[in-house]
């Protein structure tokens, strides 16, 4: 599975440059999303940063005033007095005022820093939840065929990373705004003394910025190209450590095989990441040094100017202090901008996912599902190919399911039985022909209305790690609190005696994922799934291999109830078991996506075709 895929090709420089600038295109959209989470918290977070931004310049300037005042006072040659007496001394009052202001600034800085952590924490949590909810809500609107494509899985994986790991982007962007403001105020202070210093410092930081931008883009490109490999690694990790797979893993001794495959994938990925990290380390170190050299050159000039008397000692403290900060702040600002740029690239994936539209377009003028069905459900010359494949899974299919009729579909593996169910429920659209209910095309119906009138149990139904009641209520989730309905459905689907044996009855969590969870046998799960179908008052009941795991008595019971329940409703049953199939009013034999023969059990046996042949084969097994 894992091939050491070659590093992705480098796009031309124009594209690279456009991408580097384009990464922030989605930031306003992200900001709107944050704002929607809580306008009050967003405003508070920004206001607190505004206060924090000007604080360092103010503190430095007050520091300069203190130093100058101390030098002034020490030049007055006061007689020795106590600190208290000196404090009450007139000339000291101004110094005390500056110190008090500095103290107030420090307290304010401390308070705003703490308040920012609090506000950001609250806002971040809301934002992360909002992002996860948007992902889930949007995923629910997409079609099955989109989920089955690996491109969508890759995009979803990257979008999820935005939901789980990229949430700091918000805090980082706010911090950048704060740091930028601080840098402006500090630079304005330094500019008043020597504008060239700021210019030199900015120029000296340019190489480091360019380097960071380059390596961040490279890093993202590598991560993006490796999405499929990472998904495979997640898959291997998951099957290697889940209770669901533990049984086969042990019996087939798959542990070493999985570990080996994971290790191979991880080693390739690590080697590519390491190469990039090393190149980044070397270049960033070199570029960083250019900034430091510029900084120390300027520092020496400031000291020299002070020694020469062009600057006061207060000026020296202010300038050197401002300069240290400006140097650190500008470096971190430039770094921050490029780092957030690389994170902002994930926003692309996140919003690209949110912008995906379902492929099955809703009908422009919807017609209600004809309930109850008076005549029939018809497949008229239907043809269908799965997206991305050339083979027709279904071709020239004409099929009729009359009102109140039970039709059984039989056919060898891959004949197209489940595909018919997917088309009937509009999980996929036919490429040719049409499907109608009493003459109304499925395409003209509202999707939710259509699905509300059909009860389906697929052969690979889901075993939810939820309580027994919830597992049954899944069939009609808006009736979750309707205990009587859940119990009635459980009786019809034979799940009530399964539930009766559970220590916590209907409140018993099922599966192994939840605390107190109880695992059921295959047949017991199937009874739960059949009960799900009974939760719906469906006009068409579709059971795809409903009784494959049931014992003979349970199977007979299920069909007896099915017949009793239907009262004029149609049913489509797919099965390989002839004991199930023979009870149907009509049996349709499929081959290569077409109807080969159809009729009652007796008619088909008399006909002596494929059905008779398959029936004889199975019957021989029992003799
Ligand atoms: N998601 C898919 N993408 C591509 N091809 C698919 C997909 N699902 C099924 N097929 C192909 O379509 C054909 C019909 O499959 P279908 O699941 O309808 O068969 P079936 O009659 O239900 O088989 P079985 O008895 O094994 O359940 C098969 O050749 C299968 O390989």
- Determine if ligand 1 sits within 6 Å of the CB of residue 419: yes
Residues 161, 240, single domain; the answer is yes
* Residue 2 counted as domain residue: no
Residues 484, 381, single domain; the answer is no
What's the total number of domains in the chain?
3
Q: Can you give the pLDDT at residue 423?
A: 93
Pocket residue to mutate for ligand 1, from 147, 148, 417, 592, most atoms within 8 A of Cβ: 417
pLDDT range class, residue 568, cuts 50, 70, 90: low
Q: Kindly report the CATH number assigned to the domain that includes residue 221.
A: 1.20.1560.10
Residues 423, 487, single domain; the answer is no
Going through 337-431 in order, the beta strands assigned E by DSSP cover 376-384, 394-402, 406-411
- Determine if ligand 1 sits within 6 Å of the CB of residue 414: yes
3-class DSSP assignment, residue 206 = helix
Pocket residue to mutate for ligand 1, from 149, 410, 416, most atoms within 8 A of Cβ: 416
Residues 63, 175, single domain; the answer is yes
Percent of the chain's residues with pLDDT above 90: 20
* Residue 39 counted as domain residue: yes
Tell me how crowded residue 491 is: count the other CB atoms within 10 A of its CB. 14
Residues 37, 135, single domain; the answer is yes
Residue 504 pLDDT more than 80?
Answer: yes
Q: Can you give the pLDDT at residue 183?
A: 84
* Residue 10 counted as domain residue: no
Residue 156 pLDDT more than 90?
Answer: no
* Residue 410 counted as domain residue: yes
Residue nearest to atom 2 of ligand 1 (CA): 386
* Residue 164 counted as domain residue: yes
Q: DSSP assignment, residue 478? A: G
Residue nearest to atom 30 of ligand 1 (CA): 414
Give pLDDT tens digits for 100-120.
Answer: 998 999 899 899 989 988 998
pLDDT range class, residue 197, cuts 50, 70, 90: confident
Residues whose CB falls within 8 Å of the CB of residue 121, separated by 6 or more in sequence, listed in order? none
Among residues 537, 556, 582, which one ends one of the domains? 537
Q: Can you give the pLDDT at residue 589?
A: 94
Helices (H) and strands (E) in the chain, counts: 23, 10
ipTM of the complex: 0.97
Residue 126 pLDDT more than 80?
Answer: yes
- Determine if ligand 1 sits within 6 Å of the CB of residue 415: yes
- Determine if ligand 1 sits within 6 Å of the CB of residue 418: yes
Residues 197, 335, single domain; the answer is yes
* Residue 3 counted as domain residue: no
Q: How far is the CA of 189 from the centre of ligand 1 (A)?
A: 73
Place of tokens 């291999």: 545
Residues 329, 379, single domain; the answer is no
Residue 514 pLDDT more than 80?
Answer: no
- Determine if ligand 1 sits within 6 Å of the CB of residue 236: no
Q: Containing domain of residue 470, as a range? A: 463-537
Residue 341 pLDDT more than 60?
Answer: yes
Residues whose CB falls within 8 Å of the CB of residue 189, separated by 6 or more in sequence, listed in order? 57, 60, 61, 318, 322
Residue 25 pLDDT more than 80?
Answer: no
Residue 171 pLDDT more than 80?
Answer: no
Among residues 537, 572, 602, which one ends one of the domains? 537
Residues 152, 284, single domain; the answer is yes
- Determine if ligand 1 sits within 6 Å of the CB of residue 548: no
Pocket residue to mutate for ligand 1, from 418, 457, 593, 596, most atoms within 8 A of Cβ: 418
Residue nearest to atom 28 of ligand 1 (CA): 414
Residues 108, 124, single domain; the answer is yes
Among 70-79, 153-162, 166-175, name the one with the lowest average pLDDT: 166-175
Among residues 292, 326, 354, which one ends one of the domains? 354
Residues 57, 196, single domain; the answer is yes
Residues 103, 206, single domain; the answer is yes
Residues 290, 431, single domain; the answer is no
Q: Can you give the pLDDT at residue 352?
A: 84
Token pair of 499, please?
């539930």
């Amino acid at each position: 599975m894992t091939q050491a895929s070659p590093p992705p090709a480098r796009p031309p420089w124009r594209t690279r440059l456009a991408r580097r600038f384009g990464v922030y295109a989605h930031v306003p959209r992200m900001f709107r999303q944050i704002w929607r989470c809580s306008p009050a918290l967003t405003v508070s977070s920004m206001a607190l940063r505004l206060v924090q931004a000007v604080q360092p310049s103010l503190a430095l300037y007050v520091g300069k005033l203190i130093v100058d005042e101390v030098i002034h006072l020490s030049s007055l040659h006061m007689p020795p007095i106590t600190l208290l007496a000196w404090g009450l001394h007139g000339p000291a009052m101004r110094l005390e005022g500056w110190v008090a202001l500095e103290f107030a600034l420090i307290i304010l800085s401390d308070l705003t820093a703490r308040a920012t952590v609090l506000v950001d924490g609250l806002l971040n949590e809301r934002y992360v939840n909002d992002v996860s909810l948007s992902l889930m809500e949007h995923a629910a609107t997409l079609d099955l065929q989109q989920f089955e494509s690996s491109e969508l899985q890759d995009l979803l994986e990257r979008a999820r990373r935005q939901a789980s790991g990229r949430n700091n982007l918000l805090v980082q962007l706010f911090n950048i705004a704060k740091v930028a403001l601080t840098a402006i105020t500090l630079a304005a202070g330094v500019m008043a003394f020597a504008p060239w210093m700021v210019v030199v410092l900015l120029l000296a930081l340019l190489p480091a910025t360019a380097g960071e931008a380059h390596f961040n883009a490279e890093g993202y490109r590598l991560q993006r190209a490796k999405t499929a490999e990472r998904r495979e690694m997640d898959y291997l990790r998951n099957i290697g450590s889940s209770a669901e797979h533990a049984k086969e893993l042990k019996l087939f001794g798959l542990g070493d095989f999985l570990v080996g495959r994971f290790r191979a994938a991880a080693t390739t990925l690590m080697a590519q990441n390491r190469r990039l990290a090393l190149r980044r380390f070397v270049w960033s170190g070199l570029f960083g040094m250019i900034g430091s050299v510029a900084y120390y050159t300027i520092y020496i000039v400031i000291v020299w100017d002070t020694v020469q008397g062009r600057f006061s000692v207060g000026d020296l403290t202010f300038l050197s202090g401002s300069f240290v900060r400006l140097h650190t702040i500008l470096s971190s600002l430039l770094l921050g901008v490029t780092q957030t740029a690389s994170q902002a690239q994930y926003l692309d994936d996140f919003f690209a996912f949110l912008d995906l539209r379902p492929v099955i377009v809703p009908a422009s003028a919807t017609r209600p599902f004809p309930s109850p069905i008076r005549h029939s459900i018809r497949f008229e010359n239907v043809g269908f190919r799965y997206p991305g494949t050339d083979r027709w899974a279904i071709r020239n299919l004409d099929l009729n399911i009359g009102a109140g009729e039970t039709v059984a579909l039989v056919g060898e593996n891959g004949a197209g039985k489940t595909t018919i169910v997917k088309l009937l429920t509009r999980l996929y659209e036919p490429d040719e022909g049409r499907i109608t209910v009493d003459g109304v095309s499925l395409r003209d119906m509202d999707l939710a209305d259509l699905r509300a009138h059909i009860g389906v149990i697929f052969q690979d139904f889901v075993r939810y790690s939820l309580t027994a009641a919830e597992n049954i209520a899944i069939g009609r989730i808006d009736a979750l609190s309707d205990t009587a309905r859940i119990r009635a459905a459980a009786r019809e689907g034979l799940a009530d005696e399964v539930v009766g044996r559970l220590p916590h009855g209907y409140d018993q969590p099922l599966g192994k994922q939840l605390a107190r969870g109880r695992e059921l046998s295959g047949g017991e799960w199937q009874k739960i799934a059949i009960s799900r179908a009974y939760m719906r008052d469906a006009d068409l009941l579709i059971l795809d291999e409903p009784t494959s795991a049931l014992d003979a008595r349970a199977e007979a019971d299920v069909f007896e109830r099915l017949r009793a329940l239907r009262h004029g409703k149609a049913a489509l049953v797919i099965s390989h078991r002839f004991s199930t199939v023979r009870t149907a009013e009509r049996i349709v034999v499929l081959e290569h996506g077409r109807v080969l023969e159809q009729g009652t059990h007796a008619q088909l046996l008399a006909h002596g075709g494929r059905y008779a042949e398959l029936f004889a084969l199975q019957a021989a097994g029992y003799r």
